[in-house]
Amino acid sequence: MKRVGILLKVKPEMIEEYKRRHENVWPEMQEALRRTGWHNYSLFLREDGLLFGYYEAEESHAASVAGMAKEEVNQRWQDWMAPFFENLGGGHADEGMEVLEEVFHLD
């Protein structure tokens, strides 16, 4: 497994709705994530909208994102969530994630 850290920025005025939408992530979206190699996936949100995500990829971040790009449910989810993010130029969050370099890990 490859550990992956990602950053995005949620618009401050949309933080509460962003949190509400993640209280009940669609079951078919959760299944698609599992099927395409996203495991132990967590999102952490700072009060100013900085969003940190962590997951373990079976192969790589690129392979996990490519797998999700083939899932119809992902297109619907990305369209539904696109207005929440800053600095994506109208694009989808899965295309605009800043992938962080892992510099330390303790088992």
Q: For residue 57, what are the β-bridge partners? A: 2, 38
What integer pLDDT is reported at residue 4 of this predicted model? 97
Query: Once rounded to an integer, what is the mean pLDDT over residues 10-31?
Result: 97
Looking at every residue in the chain, the average pLDDT score rounds to: 95
Taking the chain, what is the end-to-end CA distance rounded to the nearest angstrom? Answer: 13
Domain ranges, ordered by start, for the chain: 2-100
Tell me, which fold does domain 2-100 have in CATH?
A: Alpha-Beta Plaits (3.30.70)
- Here the tokens at position 49 are 């909208």
In the residue annotation, 22 being an active-site residue is answered as: yes
Select which of 22, 39, 92, 105 is catalytic: 22
Question: Mind listing the pLDDT tens digit for each residue in 55-96?
Answer: 999 999 999 999 999 999 999 999 999 999 998 877 888 888
